């Protein structure tokens, strides 16, 4: 097996964590608007691990069935973004987003569609903000709803990729008054990680050398 050195320097890891933090903060603002309650976020974790470890990282925290909205992104860098929460939270999330007046049957009927739409807004908010800060554009695939445990959600079907390491980013969110919790996770494989590393380096250089005009074209925050 070929191991490519993809280690991030301390400053690159710092910059990536800050980008994710800003992206996820914007996504939390979007989720706050949708559920009408305060959304708490953890500090993001950034790790370079293999697929199996990525699956077990979520698996050790969540033993129950999970539901996830998955979107692949491509462009300047590529990967997979997931909004994950326990299956038992799914209907409550939909009632929080769509309205209390829904009967459980109605909520169940529109479950997948509402999950996909919610995931789409949150993942777009996060990835769009990151792309804007890196001054690049990303294309997102249509959202797909998946169900299963941690290993199902992170299973890599391509054996060539399954052996390799991935950049795994995740953050927890909680909506206390609704008793909702979940994760936003991102996975990137090695070739894409190289591309991302170059963009992060450009981003750091722009911070170090240029006028402080970071993200000036993205002043909505």
Partner 1 sequence: MAITVLLVDDSKLARIVTAKVVGGLQPEWERVEASNAEEAMGVVAAREIDVALIDYNMPGRNGLELAADLRAMRPDMPIAVVTANVQDEIVSRARAIDAAFVGKPLTPEGLRGFISGAALRLRVHKV
139: CB partners within 8 A, 6+ apart: 73, 74, 75
Listed ranges 8-16, 56-64, 89-97, 182-190: which one lies at the site for partner 1 (CB under 8 A): 8-16
Which of 6, 35, 39, 84 is in the footprint of partner 1 by CB under 8 A?
A: 39
Listed ranges 36-44, 50-58, 76-84, 137-145: which one lies at the site for partner 1 (CB under 8 A): 36-44
Is residue 43 near partner 1 by the rule CB under 8 A? yes
Which of 28, 67, 122, 169 is in the footprint of partner 1 by CB under 8 A?
A: 28
200/192 Cα distance (integer angstroms): 12
Is residue 177 near partner 1 by the rule CB under 8 A? no
198: CB partners within 8 A, 6+ apart: none
**DSSP for 64-127?**
S-EEEEEEEEEESS-EEEEEEEEGGGHHHHHHHHH-TT--HHHHHHTHHHHHHHHHHHHHHHHH
105/108 Cα distance (integer angstroms): 5
- Pick the closest to residue 200 from 7, 20, 12 (CA basis): 12
Task: List binders of partner 1 among 180-209 (CB under 8 A).
Answer: 204, 207-208
Listed ranges 18-26, 86-94, 145-153, 182-190: which one lies at the site for partner 1 (CB under 8 A): 18-26
Which of 41, 48, 49, 146 is in the footprint of partner 1 by CB under 8 A?
A: 41
State in angstroms the smallest separation of the CB of 155 from partner 1: 31
Cβ–Cβ under 8 Å, residues 87 and 147 = yes
Is residue 14 near partner 1 by the rule CB under 8 A? yes
Task: List binders of partner 1 among 93-152 (CB under 8 A).
Answer: 129, 133
Is residue 47 near partner 1 by the rule CB under 8 A? no
- Pick the closest to residue 25 from 93, 122, 97 (CA basis): 122
Residues near partner 1, by CB under 8 A = 10-11, 14-15, 17-18, 21-23, 25-26, 28-29, 32, 38-39, 41, 43, 129, 133, 204, 207-208, 211-216, 218-221
């Amino acid at each position: 097996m070929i191991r490519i050195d993809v280690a991030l320097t301390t400053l690159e890891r710092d910059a990536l964590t800050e980008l994710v933090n800003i992206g996820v903060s914007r996504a939390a603002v979007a989720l706050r608007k949708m559920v009408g309650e305060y959304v708490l976020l953890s500090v993001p974790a950034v790790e370079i691990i293999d697929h199996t470890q990525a699956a077990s990282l979520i698996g050790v925290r969540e033993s129950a069935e999970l539901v996830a909205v998955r979107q692949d992104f491509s462009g300047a860098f590529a990967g997979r973004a997931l909004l994950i929460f326990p299956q038992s939270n799914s209907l409550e999330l939909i009632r929080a987003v769509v309205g209390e007046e829904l009967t459980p049957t109605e909520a169940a009927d529109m479950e997948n569609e509402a999950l996909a739409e919610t995931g789409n807004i949150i993942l777009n908010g996060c990835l769009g903000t990151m792309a804007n800060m890196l001054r690049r554009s990303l294309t997102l695939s249509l959202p797909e709803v998946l169900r299963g445990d941690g290993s199902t959600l992170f299973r890599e079907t391509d054996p060539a990729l399954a052996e390799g390491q991935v950049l795994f980013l995740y953050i927890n969110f909680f909506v206390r008054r609704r008793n909702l919790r979940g994760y936003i996770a991102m996975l990137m494989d090695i070739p894409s990680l190289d591309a991302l590393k170059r963009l992060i380096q450009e981003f750091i250089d722009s911070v170090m050398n240029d006028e402080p005009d970071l993200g000036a074209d993205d002043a909505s925050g």
